[in-house]
Each structure stands twice: as structure tokens, then as C-alpha cells.
């Protein structure tokens, strides 16, 4: 006997009720399975969306006149000459240093390298494409995280992206996601060939250890307090400032509880701390755009950071996995 449409509808509604009651774990698995048929077309759609957004940005950007272009070209050439002369000076200094070291007893040995060399660690970059954003535009993030409901504020936009990967097995949650320029998010859910990334701008992207790198501008020096003494910030004493970053739920990130004495300014850079086990390297996160006094704590400032690029238009990303950090991912192969 063939079931009538009414019976089918009742069965489907009952199934919907059951999935609603079962909870988010089962729903996550369902979404993971559903993303497979969505991936082929979603990939093309997201490519188109990102291309249009890029093109619109180009059209909206300020046009440079011929005269301005000429000035910029001249400035570039001057800067290039300066770099060349500085490099020549460096070379000369290096040569003299080697001569001096050769004069010292045992001086033929090379000096120990300073800690500026990039940190070498074994890692794997899993390439991924952004294939879809969440289908509902408005905010509802507060609905989904009862454990941290205190940290959730009204008007919180959802900032998640579905990724397609080359992995059949689940990728562990919490892995950082980068593109060629910066840290863009972290994995919060995954299934065969797909994963879901939470963007750095999401309000629930919280408590990420990072460092502010102050940019030294000889034309505009800054006075900082070090060991109770006021000093002009120079390269020798310019240590990165350790901070904790939170997504602001809009288009950037915020950092609070930064002492005013550090004299952070717009234009300074934010990078990952390099101490995180999942990402033991300093990867750029964004640029400081605003520094305001903290009304609750006059000795501190609140810093606003913008990502280096428009995250709504990202397409190609890499999931960073450090072997040993998770045995599940260790079994899968990948480019090194």
C-alpha cells in the first residue's frame, strides 16, 4: 500500500521534531553529510561571489591620478635606492665584524645566531576552499552556546564558513586556518571532505593569545615607560606586547586590558603569539585601527584590530595541523 502525502508529511514532521529534541551533535553530523552534495555547486557560487565582491571593491576604491601615480613611482624609486645603500652599508658592517671576530682567539667560529630565524617545526598545510556561508543572514549565535552564554551579546552575527578539503577523515576541531596573508579562523566542526571554520571576527572567537608588534616610525617617535623610566621606543627595546584577542562580532577584533604605557598606535601589527601548540609560529592577524581609553580602567586602553583583508571574500585557505597535536589527523597524508 502506497502511503498518502498526508502520512508522509506526518512522518517527516515527526522526524523533524525528533532531530530538534536530539540536540546539536546529531544535527552537526546531518549538516556534515548534507554539505557533500552542496559542495560542487557551492564552490562555484562562492568563487563568483568572491570575484564580484573583489571587483566591487576595486570599483569603489579611490582612483589615483596620473600625477599621484608619478609621485608614487618616484617615491618607490627613492626608497629602492635607500634600501640598496642600506644593504651596502650592512654588507660593509658584516665584513668588518668578521674581520674583528677573526682577530679574537677562536674567532673563526661563527657567532650563535640570534632568535630572529623563523621557528622551524613540523607542520602540515591542508588546502581548503570556502564553499558556503551560513544561509540565514541575521544573528542567532546566542542560541547555540549555552556553556558560554554569559559571553554572548545581542546582535552577534554568525561568522562561519563551510570548507571543502581533500580529507576523507574528520579534521580535529580547534585547528587554526590561515590564508597567504593572515590567520583567518579555526576549525570548529568537520566531516568527510568538509569542515566548518569560525572566522576570527566571530564574537565567540575568544581568548586567543597574540602579540602586538609596534612599528617604529623615526618621524613620529613614541615615549614608553620601561622600568619606571620614560624612554624613546627603539628597535632594541621594542618587545612584542602579549595580549588576548576576541572577535568583535562585526568586522574586526578587540583587545582590552592593554596598559596605556605601551603606547600602542593605529598601524601597529597584531600576530599570533607563536606559543600556541596548534600554531607555534607568528602569523599576522591584523592591523591596529583604533586605540581608545578604557572607561572602566583609566590606565588601560581598548584596541580595535581589522583583518588584513576582507574576510567575506576569502576563498583559498590552509588548515594548519601540527603532527602530534592530534592523533586523528596524523593518519591522513598531505603536503609539507
Partner 1 sequence: MIRWPAFLLAAYLLVVFQGTIGRLLVFNVPQVGPIGPDVVAMLAVFVAMFARNTTDVMLAAWVLGLGLDLTNSGGSGATVVGPMPIAYVLTAGVLHRVREAFFRELWLAQAILAFLFCLASHIVWLALQTLFRSLPDWSAFGWITLEIAISAVYTAILMPFVFAVLRKCRSWLLSASAGASMTF
* Sites for partner 1 among residues 97-136 (CB under 8 A): 131-136
Selected binder of partner 1 within 3, 12, 68, 225 (CB under 8 A): 12
Selected binder of partner 1 within 203, 211, 304, 306 (CB under 8 A): 203
Q: Which stretch binds partner 1 (CB under 8 A): 89-97, 115-123, 140-148, 254-262?
A: 140-148
Nearest to 164 by CA among 32, 329, 69, 14: 32
Nearest 5°: CA angle at 74, between 71 and 75?
85
In the complex, least distance from residue 7 CB atom to partner 1, rounded to whole angstroms? 10
Taking the least distance from each CB to partner 1, the nearer of 31 and 260 is: 31
Could you give the string, one character per residue 150-189, with x where binding to partner 1 holds by CB under 8 A and - elsewhere?
Answer: --x-xxxxxxx-x-------------------------xx
Could you give the string, one character per residue 259-298, with x where binding to partner 1 holds by CB under 8 A and - elsewhere?
Answer: ----------------------------------------
Give the HSE-up count for residue 336: Cα atoms under 13 Å, Cβ half-sphere: 9
Taking the least distance from each CB to partner 1, the nearer of 141 and 176 is: 141
> Alpha helices, DSSP H only, in 61-156?
66-103
Q: Which stretch binds partner 1 (CB under 8 A): 72-80, 111-119, 147-155, 322-330?
A: 147-155
Selected binder of partner 1 within 238, 256, 263, 312 (CB under 8 A): 312
Q: Got the DSSP string for 33-78?
A: HHHHHHHHHHHHHHHHHHHHHHHHHHHHSPPPPHHHHHHHHHHHHH
Size of the site for partner 1 (CB under 8 A): 71
Say how far apart CA 13 and CA 3 lie, in whole Å. 15
Residue 165 in contact with residue 194, Cβ under 8 Å?
Answer: yes
57 part of the interface to partner 1, by CB under 8 A? no
Selected binder of partner 1 within 64, 84, 143, 237 (CB under 8 A): 143
Say how far apart CA 243 and CA 131 lie, in whole Å. 32
In the complex, least distance from residue 15 CB atom to partner 1, rounded to whole angstroms? 8
In the complex, least distance from residue 291 CB atom to partner 1, rounded to whole angstroms? 21
Residue 224 in contact with residue 265, Cβ under 8 Å?
Answer: no
Q: Which stretch binds partner 1 (CB under 8 A): 49-57, 212-220, 277-285, 286-294?
A: 49-57
306 part of the interface to partner 1, by CB under 8 A? no
224 part of the interface to partner 1, by CB under 8 A? no
Nearest to 172 by CA among 199, 196, 202: 196
Taking the least distance from each CB to partner 1, the nearer of 162 and 211 is: 162
Residues sharing a CB contact under 8 Å with residue 319, sequence separation 6 or more, in sequence order: 125, 126, 128, 163, 165, 171, 175, 176, 177, 187, 195
Amino acid at each position: 500500500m502506497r502511503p498518502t502525502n498526508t502520512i508522509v508529511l506526518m512522518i517527516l514532521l515527526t522526524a523533524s521534531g525528533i532531530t530538534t529534541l536530539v540536540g546539536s551533535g546529531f544535527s552537526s553530523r546531518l549538516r556534515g553529510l548534507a554539505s557533500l552534495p552542496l559542495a560542487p555547486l557551492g564552490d562555484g557560487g562562492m568563487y563568483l561571489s568572491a570575484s564580484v565582491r573583489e571587483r566591487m571593491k576595486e570599483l569603489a576604491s579611490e582612483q589615483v591620478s596620473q600625477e599621484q601615480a608619478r609621485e608614487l613611482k618616484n617615491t618607490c624609486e627613492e626608497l629602492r635606492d635607500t634600501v640598496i645603500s642600506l644593504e651596502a652599508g650592512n654588507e660593509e658592517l658584516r665584513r668588518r665584524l668578521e674581520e674583528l671576530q677573526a682577530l679574537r682567539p677562536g674567532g673563526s667560529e661563527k657567532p650563535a645566531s640570534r632568535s630572529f630565524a623563523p621557528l622551524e617545526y613540523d607542520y602540515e598545510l591542508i588546502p581548503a576552499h570556502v564553499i558556503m556561508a551560513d544561509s540565514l543572514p541575521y544573528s542567532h549565535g546566542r542560541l547555540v552556546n549555552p556553556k558560554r552564554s554569559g559571553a554572548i551579546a545581542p546582535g552577534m552575527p554568525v561568522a562561519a564558513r563551510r570548507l571543502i578539503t581533500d580529507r576523507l577523515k574528520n579534521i580535529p576541531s580547534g585547528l587554526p586556518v590561515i590564508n597567504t596573508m593572515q590567520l583567518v579562523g579555526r576549525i570548529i566542526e568537520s566531516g568527510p571532505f568538509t569542515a566548518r571554520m569560525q572566522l576570527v571576527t566571530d564574537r565567540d572567537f575568544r581568548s586567543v593569545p597574540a602579540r602586538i608588534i609596534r612599528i617604529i616610525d623615526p618621524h613620529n617617535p613614541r615615549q614608553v615607560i620601561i622600568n619606571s623610566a620614560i624612554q624613546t621606543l627603539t628597535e632594541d627595546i621594542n618587545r612584542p606586547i602579549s595580549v588576548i584577542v576576541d572577535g568583535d562580532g562585526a568586522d574586526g577584533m578587540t583587545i582590552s586590558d592593554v596598559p596605556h604605557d605601551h603606547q600602542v598606535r593605529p598601524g601597529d601589527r597584531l600576530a599570533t603569539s607563536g606559543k600556541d601548540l596548534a600554531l607555534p609560529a607568528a602569523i599576522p592577524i591584523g592591523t591596529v585601527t583604533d586605540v581608545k581609553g578604557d572607561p572602566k580602567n583609566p590606565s588601560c586602553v581598548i584596541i580595535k584590530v581589522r583583518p588584513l583583508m576582507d574576510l567575506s571574500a576569502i576563498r583559498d585557505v590552509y588548515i594548519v595541523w601540527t603532527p602530534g597535536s592530534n592523533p586523528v589527523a596524523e593518519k591522513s597524508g598531505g603536503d609539507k
